[in-house]
Amino acid sequence: MKILFLGDIFGRSGRDAVAKHLPALKQKYQPDFTVINGENAAHGFGLMPVMAQDFFRLGVDIITGGNHTFDKSEIISLISQTDKVLRPLNLPKCAPGKGYGLYTLKGKTLMVINVMGRLFMEPFLDCPFRAVEDVLKLYPLGGAISAIFIDVHGETTSEKMALAKYFDGRVSAVIGTHTHVPTADAQIMKGGTAYLTDAGMCGDYDSVIGLHPETAFANFLKKIPKPKQKEPATGEGTVCGVFIEVGQGGKACTIQPIRLGPVLANAG
């Protein structure tokens, strides 16, 4: 099974970059499933239903989220009706939508889990380790489940690494999102789990994690409250993500970082 994953889509620059590069990426890698993290697609904060539909028309199969999943209330109706748009698994159980989904193609089933880290994140989250464990008890890797992909949306490298090590061999891939900076530690762990601490964002890297630098200067230099209206950078976007191939028994056999755009060194 082949899985193409793109990191946090940030604002219009990110959306435009995905529209520009995704067709060629799909042609090159021929993925069975294409997954993106879309929680920053709407001006950097949240996801609008029309944007989700645009992504689906481009050939995206599943959209994951994170701490900004519900920043745009309009997404609630869509996320309540489909498992193609996921929200973090370890949000309170009363939250709309689902934290995982099962997707079948050509007799093979992929499970995608979206989970959030707790360190320096939201205080009301359930334990991500226990939340994933509960799902794996219902749907273990192997048999009916050909591959399990986890988008772990977290602030710290240690928590993402710990989660990947804990589930090594029991899931096919653990890929981090949220920090908007691609890391250089793509690997296949001893148990066969593909891992990358952060896939990076799809957006303008001539910025401060996607935002216009002036937005950050006020906070860092003057320690005054951040502007209510945070402006995304509007330059040409870079697409960041990863390609993963899963073989026998749900074990990863390939992990290839992807970077395509004008600022970062290209890869993939």
Q: Which residues are catalytic?
A: 68
DSSP notation for 108-129: EEEEEEEEE--TTS-TTPPPHH
CA gyration radius, the chain: 17
**Given strand 147-153, what is the order of strands in its sheet?**
100-105, 108-116, 147-153, 173-177, 194-196, 187-188
Cite the DSSP H helix spans in 150-192. 157-166
Backbone angles phi, psi at 58, to 5 degrees: -75, -10
Closest CA to 38 of 59, 68, 79, 16: 68
Tell me the pairing of strands 187-188 and 173-177: unpaired
Q: Hey, which residues does 256 pair with through a beta bridge?
A: 243
What whole-number distance in Å separates Cα of residue 222 and Cα of residue 119?
Answer: 26
Please give the helix or strand (H or E) that residue 79 lies within, else none: helix 75-81
The backbone region for 56, taken as left when phi is positive above 0, alpha when psi lies in -120 to 50, beta otherwise, is: alpha
Question: Both tokens of residue 19?
Answer: 């529209």
